[in-house]
Chain A
Amino acid sequence: MSQDYTHLYREELRVDEDWSDKWDIFVSAFNGSDRVRRVFDKAKADKKFWIIHEEYRFDDHELPQAGGFVCEALNEEEMLRFWESELSASCFGVQGITVCLDATGFMRPQLMFLIKLLYAKGIRKFDVLYSEPQYYLDKDRTTFAGSHVDSVRQVAGFEGISDDTGSRDLLLIGAGYETHLISEVAEDKEESRKIVLLGLPSLRPDMYQQNAWRAWQASDAISVEESERYFAPAADVFATATVVSELVDREQKRGNVRHIYMAPLSTKAQAIGFALCFLSEFQGANISIIYPFTQTYEKETSAGLARIWKHTLEF
C-alpha cells in the first residue's frame, strides 16, 4: 500500500527575512555557490558544521575559514566518521535535539547516508533545507558531476535484499540534467525495465524542457516508451516521496519484479524524497537505491537564490 507524504510539514523560508527557527545542530556541505553560503550564514544554530566534499577539489584558500569535516570522495560511509567525531557527543541520547541539514551542496549518496544515520541513531525528526537557484549557469548544458563515473553501485544503508523470483529488474530513474549519469545507470542495469521520473513542476519555468531534453538524449540507454514517464515536483521532497511510493506499489502489485533499483539523479530535494520513502517503507525489501559515483563535482553550477524550502522529515 502506497503512502502519502504530503501531509508532512513543508514551508518556504523567506530569503530576505529573519527566520524564527533555531536549531541545536546545523550541517551544510560547502560549495562555490552563493546560495549555500548565504543560507549557512543566515541559519541560527548552537553548532554549525561544514562538510567539505573532496569531489569539489577545493584549493586551501577556497575553504571556509572556520574549517570543516573533510569527507573522502566516493565514500558515503565517511558520514559515520563525521557522526563519531563531531555529532555523537552532541546528539546521541539527547531528548528533543533539533537538527537541520542544508541539502543543497551535499553529494547525494552522503546526504542520503547521513539521513539514514540520523534515523538509525534515533533522531526521527529533523529539518532539511533545499535552496533553489535563479538559473543554472549553462542551462540545459549544465554539468554537475564530473564526466567520469567511477562506479555505479548501491548506496550504503540503502541496499535491498536480493530476490530472484521475478523475471526482471525495474530501474526507476529520477532523471536530471546529466545525460551521462542517466546513461551510466541505465547501462549498468541494462537488463532492467526502466521508468523515468521527471521534475515537473520544475525549479524554474524553463528547466522542465531542459530536463526532458537531456533525458531524451539518454533514450538509447533507457529504451523507455512514452507511457513510462512520470512526474514529481522538482523541489518538493514529500510529493516526490509520494509519487515514488505509488509507483513502487503499483509495480509490486503487477508482480514479476525481481529487484527495484532507484536512482535519484535529479534535484537534491527529489533525492531526499527517494530516501524518505525508502526509510519509511522499503527497508528489508527487494528495493535498493543506486548511484553513479563520480570522482569530481562542479563547485559552482548556478546563480542566484530564488527560494528556500524547509522540509521537516518525520519517521
Chain B
Amino acid sequence: METHFQAIREGQLKMETKSIAANPFSITKADDYNDRQIQQFWVDGPAADEPVQSVVQPKTAMPKYLLGAKGSGKTHLLRFHSFPLQKIRLEKRQGGLLSGVKEEGYLGIYIRCGGLNAGRFAGKRQPEDRWEGVFAYYLELWLTRHLLQVVQELEPELEKDDVERFVREAASLFDVSLQLDAFSLHTLIAAIESERRHLDVEVNNCVLSGSMNVQIKVAPGRLVFGIPKCLVERCPALREVTVVYLIDELENLSKYQQRIINSLVRDRELPTTFRIGARLYGIKTLETFSSEEENLPDSEFVRVVLDEEMRRATKRYDAFARSMLRKRLSEAAFGMTVEVDSLQRAFSVQDETWSSEVYLRMVKGEVSRERTHFRRFRQKLRRAGIQDEDGICEALAQFEYPLIEKASILAFYRRVRRGDEPKALAEDIREQAEQFMKGADKGRRGNRVRSIIEHNRTDLSAQLCRENRSRQYYLGLKTFIIMSGGLPRVLLTIMRSIFEWAIYNGEDPMQQDGISIDSQYRGVMEATEWFFSSMRKSGREGAAIQVATERLAQIFRESRFSDLPIECSLNTFSISLHQLSEEARYVLDLCEQRSFINEVSGGQKHRNSKEVQLKYQLHPMLCPRWQLPIGRRGAMVLSSELGNAVFEPGKQDVFAEELKQFRRARRFALKPREGELF
C-alpha cells in the first residue's frame, strides 16, 4: 500500500513538473511565484559566486532605494530578504529560527504599497492635510501589524516574560490607551488590527457620510521605530538584529504619501532601517515633513538602479543570466543537471561571417548584375552622371560573396564623393576586396573593404535581408541576454516566447540546435511587441513615449538602410539637453523612466548646466521591431531641430520634413548637399 501511495505521489510530482517542463519559462514575474518558488529558483548574482546580500545589504543602517524598470528584479530581491523566505532558508538549519535570524542579523518585514490601495486616501471632499494625518496613522498600523506577525512566529522560541514586557512597552507607545485584555502578542495584534479596520471603514465611507471619525492615537514613527527598539531591548536573542522594513511598489503612493515615507527614512532610529523598491519613475518627491527638508542620495539614503548596474557590468550580468536560465531548466528537467552550455547549444544559429552561404541564398543565386543592390547601384551611378556603369559594376562584383559586394559599393560611395576617378576607384576597391578575402592584407592598414566589413557587417547584412525580403534574425543565447538590457524578466519573456514556439513546432529544446531559427525569430518578435506595449506608461504620456520612440527608431532605420549610414550599428544618440524644448525634455525623461531609452555613461556633462550633453541608447529589446542592431557602437548627435521633432508629440509634420531631409542627406550623390550633415 505504501509503495502504491509512493507511486501516486511520484506520478503527481512528475505531472506537476511536466507541466512546468512544457515551458520552463512560463512564469516570468516574481509575483507569480510563491515563497518556496522564490527560494527554489533563486540565483546568487550578478556573479555566480557573489552573495546576494551585497545588493540589498539588509544589516547596514543606511536606507537604500532599489530602483529599476519593470522586470529588473526589485520584488525578487526584496521578497528574498523577507521573513517568510528567511524562514524557509532556516527551516532545515539546526538551532532553530531565532538563532538563524540572529546569524543572518536582520528581520525582513516585507510590505507592498499596492496592498494599501492608497488611492482611496484622497478626495472625498476631505482636505489633504486631513488625509496626511490619517494615512500616516494607517501606515504606522500597517507596518506594525506586519512586524508583530513576524514576532509572533518567533514567539515559541522567546521567553514568556520577555514577550509580556515587550507587549506592555509596545502598547504604552500609544498616546491613547489600547485597552488590552491581556498583554499577549495575540491581543496586541488584534487591537491594532481592529484599529486599522476602523480606519478602513471610515476612509471608505466618508465619501457618502461626509466625515471621518478617526482619532489618531500615535505620532508618526512612534510605533515604526519604537516597537523594534522594544523588541531588541526586551528580547536578548534579538539584541544585534536589524529590523528592515522592505517597502515595495513605492510608485503606488501619491506625492504626499511618499513624503510620509521619506520622513520615516529621514527620522529613522536604530535598530530600524528601510529598503524601498520602486520603478525608476516611481519617486515623486524626496521632500519630507521635517522642516521641508529633502532627503539626498548618499546622505539620507543610497540609490541603486538595478538594471543600470546590470548593464554596466556586462560580464557579470551575462554570468548571472546564464545561471538563472540554467537553474530554471534544471528544475524543469526532473532534477537532471543541465550542463553549463546546454542552453547555448540548444539554439540554432547561422554563420554570419562575410563568407557565409546565407547571403548567397538570400540573393537566390542570381548573377551579381541582377541583384537588387547592383540594380540600385546602377541607377544611382546614372543619376550621378557617372559613366561606364557596367564596367564599374563588373569590377565590384563578387558572385559568391554578396556581402563583399555590398561593402565594395559602400566603399565606392564614400570615396567617389571625394573626387576619385570612378573606374579606377572601382578597380582599386576590387583589389582590396580580393586582398581581404585571401587574407593577404593582414597587418597592413588602409584596406577599405576590410574596414567596412569589420565595422559595418551587421548593417550590410541587414540591408541585404531587406533588399531580398528576407527575415532579419536575432539568434542565440548571447543575443538574447544582450537584448534583455539588464532586465531579467525581459530575458525570461524572450525565452518563454521562444520556447512556446519551439514546443508548438515540435522541437526539442534540450537537444543541440533543437530550437530552430524560425522559433527564435517568432519568439523574439513577440517579445519585442510585448516590450513596446507593456513597458510604457498608461495615458497620454504612454502614447507620447511610443510616438517618440517610433520617430527615433525611424531615424536609426533610415541611417541603417541608407547608401551612407551615419554611423555603424546605430541605436544610440547624444543630445544637448539645453537645446531641447521643455516639452521635449519631459518626453525624453519619460522615455528613459520607462526604459524605452537607457542613458549611457560617457555622455559629456559640464559644470555649466547649459552645456549638458547626454547619450542614450534605444533599449535593445525594442531594436528588432525596426530591424535595428542590438549592440552599441556609434552614436549620432541629434540637432535641436531633430531632437524637438522627435520628442514633441505634436510635431508630426516637422518630423516628417526632418526625416525627409535626413533621408536625402544619406542618399548617394556626387556633390554633398546643403545641410546634409547632421
Confirm or deny: A221 has a beta carbon within 8 angstroms of a beta carbon on chain B: yes
Question: Are B530 and A288 closer than 8 Å at their CB atoms?
Answer: no
Kindly state whether residue B125 has any CB partner on chain A within 8 Å. Answer: yes
> Cα distance A272–B125 when bound, in Å?
25
CA distance A35 to B399 in the complex (A): 69
Stretch at the interface among B115-123, B479-487, B631-639: B115-123
B34 within 8 A of partner (CB): yes
- State the CA gap A192–B201 with chains docked (Å): 23
Residues of A with C-beta under 8 A to B32:
191, 223
Known: A148-B539, A191-B29, A295-B540. A161 touches B200 (CB 8 A): yes
Contact of A161 among B142, B201, B207 (CB under 8 A): B201
Q: Mark A248-264, 1 if CB is under 8 A from B, else 0.
A: 00000000001100000
Q: Which of B84-127 contact A (CB under 8 A)?
A: 111-112, 114-117, 119-120, 123-125
State whether A151 touches B201 (Cβ < 8 A): no
* B130-142 interface code vs A (CB 8 A; 1 in, 0 out): 0000000000001
Per a CB cutoff under 8 Å, which of A120, A150, A159 touches B120? A159
The listed residue with most A CB atoms (<10 A of its CB), out of B120, B146, B207, is B207
- Which of A53-61, A182-190, A199-207, A228-236 contacts its partner? A182-190
| Contact of A159 with B117 at beta-carbon distance under 8 Å, contacts A150-B539, A164-B145, A223-B32 already known | yes
Contact A147 B543 (CB under 8 A): yes
Residue in B123, B208, B542 whose Cβ sees the most chain A Cβ within 10 Å: B208
The reply to whether B125 and A77 contact each other, CB–CB distance below 8 Å, is yes
Give 1 or 0 for each of B227-268: 1 = CB within 8 Å of chain A CB: 000000000000000000000000000000000000000000
In the complex the two chains form, is B207's CB within 8 Å of A191's CB? no
Bound-complex Cα distance A303 to B196 (A):
50
Q: Determine if A148 and B201 form an interchain contact, defined as CB atoms under 8 angstroms apart.
A: no
- Docked pose: A190 CA to B208 CA in angstroms: 30
DSSP majority for the B interface? helix
- Please determine whether B201 and A116 come into contact, CB atoms closer than 8 angstroms: no
Contact A190 B29 (CB under 8 A): yes
Indicate if the CB atoms of A148 and B540 lie closer than 8 Å. Answer: yes
Mask, B520-539, CB within 8 Å of A = 1, is: 00000000001001100011
30 A–B contact pairs at CB < 8 A?
A77-B125, A116-B208, A120-B208, A147-B543, A149-B538, A149-B539, A150-B538, A150-B539, A152-B538, A153-B119, A154-B117, A154-B120, A156-B124, A157-B208, A159-B117, A159-B203, A159-B204, A160-B204, A161-B197, A167-B34, A183-B533, A189-B114, A190-B31, A191-B29, A191-B112, A220-B530, A220-B534, A259-B117, A292-B538, A295-B540
Contacts A120-B208, A162-B200, A192-B31 aside, 20 further interface pairs with beta carbons under 8 A come to A116-B208, A147-B543, A148-B540, A149-B539, A151-B119, A153-B120, A161-B204, A162-B115, A162-B116, A164-B145, A184-B538, A190-B31, A191-B29, A191-B31, A191-B75, A191-B114, A220-B534, A258-B115, A259-B115, A259-B117
* A interface residues, Cβ below 8 angstroms from B: 77, 80, 116-117, 120, 147-154, 156-157, 159-162, 164, 167, 169, 183-184, 187, 189-192, 220-221, 223, 258-259, 284, 288, 292, 295
